[in-house]
Amino acid sequence: MLIKPDAIERNLIGRIISRVEETPLKILDMKKVFFSREMTEQFYGEHKEEEFYNRLINYMADKNVVALKLEGLDAIKILRRLVGATDPKKAEKNTIRADFGLGTPQNSVHASDSEKSAKREIDFFFGEKN
């Protein structure tokens, strides 16, 4: 999970982490990272052909993010339900994006959508090279 720049700028890190801690998920590791343009393009590379890619890169690049490494039974399912739909206007009430998101891509958090993505994203932020 990533806490995005809009949430960091509005001092929401603690409130978002509290929401995670209210679930059965366990936070194994956490760190604040300066997300360089190169890192941002690499992280979101799978979306390069999408219409939202440039807007997302411009929003995320050269800013701080907070990366969380989470663990738990059905972690992806629990986390996706906690964060809500990508568009905060369409997110269910009482989800992180509904409560804190400003729009897209300023929806306050990023959450892995599959086990494959989760493994890649955890390695990206918490692997041996980091």
Is the peptide bond preceding residue 105 cis, with omega within 30 degrees of 0? Answer: yes
Question: Which residue, among 25, 56, 23, has the nearest Cα to 41 in the 3D structure?
Answer: 56
Would you call 110 a catalytic residue per the annotation? yes
Q: Out of 96, 109, 110, 111, which one is annotated catalytic?
A: 110
Residue 128 binned pLDDT confidence (cut-offs 50, 70, 90): confident
CA distances from 48 to 42, 61, 84, 118 (A): 10, 14, 23, 19
Residue 81 binned pLDDT confidence (cut-offs 50, 70, 90): very high
The pTM score is 0.95
